[in-house]
Amino acid sequence: FPHWGSSYHLYTTILLFFPSHPWETVTKAAMQKYPNPMNPSVIGVDVLDRGIDKQGRLHSKRLLSTEWGLPSIVKSIIGNSRTYTYVQEHTAVVLYKTFYILTLLLFPLQITFTNMVSVDEKLTYKPHPEDKDKTILTQEAIISVKGVSLSSYLEGVMASTISVNAGKGREAMEWVIRRLNAEIEELAATARGTIRTPMAAAVTEK
Amino acid sequence: MNSVGEACTDLKREYDQCFNRWFAEKFLKGDRSGDPCTETFRKYQRCVQKAIKEKDIPIDGVEFMGPNKDKPES
């Protein structure tokens, strides 16, 4: 019989590399992560608060509205708003003179349909110490279960779910990065187009 | 991407555009010279907070920025 007051924590650490993306690119992508096709359940993102603290770190608190796609017959019984899950996300961006660290702390309000298990994820993006064109992502999951001892089987299931999601998370970031790069390419092409005309005129004048 | 409040989506997009530009061109380059988005943020926030109350969304009261909070310079 579960009792409240004690909790169990499971930490898993996953190290992933983002080859060929400098930290600035990855950070911009992290701030514009949604929408992306790997997270179709995220249907709304709102900034609740934002500010720079005494150490110059930029904090953002965001609300993610997610819809898990329950069958419409269920929705018609329990009503539309009841099928939404809301996730709170807190990010902090830190800049240090010549190197950068970004820490993303995710505090899900309700990631399962029971409130006995909660999963906190911590993602840290750092520039690769030897290659400025690479970024290292460290992902940690902290699973808290109130008053219930977790069997090792359940631990295994949760750990492999988190590894799969870590892979998806990286896919999502790669997608956003490609999209941002495509936008930059488009802008650059437009800029080249505008510059070309006066230069061509200068050449023909010779 | 939409806002949690349907009526707030346009205000959200306006704010997001302002922020993304400031973030890439100023903050990431170490430039702290003021925030051009305070007014758009205020308008957007008024709408969102109203929607959150109306939809009864439970917002965690964890202290934003913790003990490092400082009043941002306007």
* Phi and psi torsions of A30, nearest 5°: -60, -35
- State the sign of the Cα–Cα–Cα–Cα dihedral B58, A117, A168, A10: positive
DSSP A114: S
Measured CA to CA, the distance from residue A159 to residue A154 in angstroms comes to 8
Tell me which residue in A55, A58, A81 faces B55 most closely, judged by beta carbons: A81
For range B1-16, the mean pLDDT: 94
A139-A143-A148 Cα angle (round to 5): 165
Q: For strand A99-107 and strand A58-67, is the pairing parallel, antiparallel, or unpaired?
A: unpaired
Q: For strand A99-107 and strand A84-96, is the pairing parallel, antiparallel, or unpaired?
A: antiparallel
Number of neighbouring beta carbons within 10 Å of residue A139? 21
- State the sign of the Cα–Cα–Cα–Cα dihedral A150, A153, A155, A158: negative
- The whole-angstrom distance between A187's CA and the closest CA on chain B is 14
Q: Which residues of A32-67 are buried (b: 16+ CB within 10 A; e: fewer)?
A: bbebbebbeebbbbbbbebbbbeeebbbbbbbbbbe
Q: Are A48 and B57 in contact (CB < 8 Å)? A: no
Q: What is the mean pLDDT of chain B?
A: 83
pTM (predicted TM-score): 0.62
Residue holding tokens 């961006």?
A93
- The whole-angstrom distance between B66's CA and the closest CA on chain A is 9
How much is the pLDDT for A149? 47
A117-A41-B61 Cα angle (round to 5): 50
Tokens of B28: 């990431």
Residues of A with CB below 8 A from B62's CB?
A: 88, 90, 107
How much is the pLDDT for A108? 33
Residues of A with CB below 8 A from B59's CB?
A: 48, 63, 88
Measured CA to CA, the distance from residue B69 to residue A206 in angstroms comes to 62
Residues of B with CB below 8 A from A45's CB?
A: 1, 3
Tokens of A90: 């807190």
How much is the pLDDT for A78? 60
Inter-CA distances, A196 with A4, A44, A187, Å = 70, 41, 14
ipTM of the complex: 0.83
**Alpha helices (H) in A32-97, listed in sequence order:** 72-78
Tell me which residue in B4, B23, B69 faces A44 most closely, judged by beta carbons: B4
B31 has a pLDDT exceeding 50: yes
Q: What is the mean pLDDT of each run of 10 residues along chain A (206 residues)?
A: 35 47 76 82 88 81 76 63 67 53 35 46 74 75 54 58 69 76 72 52 40
A183-202 pLDDT tens trace? 767 766 776 665 454 444 44
How much is the pLDDT for A33? 82
Locate the domains of chain B by residue range.
4-53
